[in-house]
Amino acid sequence: MDTITLVNLILSVAILAVGLVGFRKSKVRWPLYIAVSFGLFGLSHLLTVLDLQVTLEAFLIAIRTIAYLLVLYTVYRAAFVRAGG
């Protein structure tokens, strides 16, 4: 088993959980966006731990791309768009 991927999976799940709790408490959307992004990263790490990365390569590329774009969107909104979400 790849230790790095397992650590990434654990940390992704932790960030997912904290993001969901942050969203529930604050009702601000950016923690939810980060949570969803890291949920997608966690899914990709889980599939890699399960040794499905070759079979699902295109799917993994798609979900990681979506996750990165969602993080990019969230950071953009935080930096350049007025408060409120």
Rounded percentage of the chain residues whose pLDDT exceeds 70: 96
- 37 assigned to some structural domain: no
Residue 54, CB-side half-sphere exposure with 13 Å CA sphere: 1
Q: For the whole model, what pTM was predicted?
A: 0.90
- 22 assigned to some structural domain: yes
Range of the domain at 70: 3-32+42-80
- 85 assigned to some structural domain: no
pLDDT tens sequence across 6-16: 999 999 999 99
Rounded percentage of the chain residues whose pLDDT exceeds 90: 91
Domain count, the chain: 1
Helix ranges (DSSP H) in the chain: 3-26, 30-49, 57-80
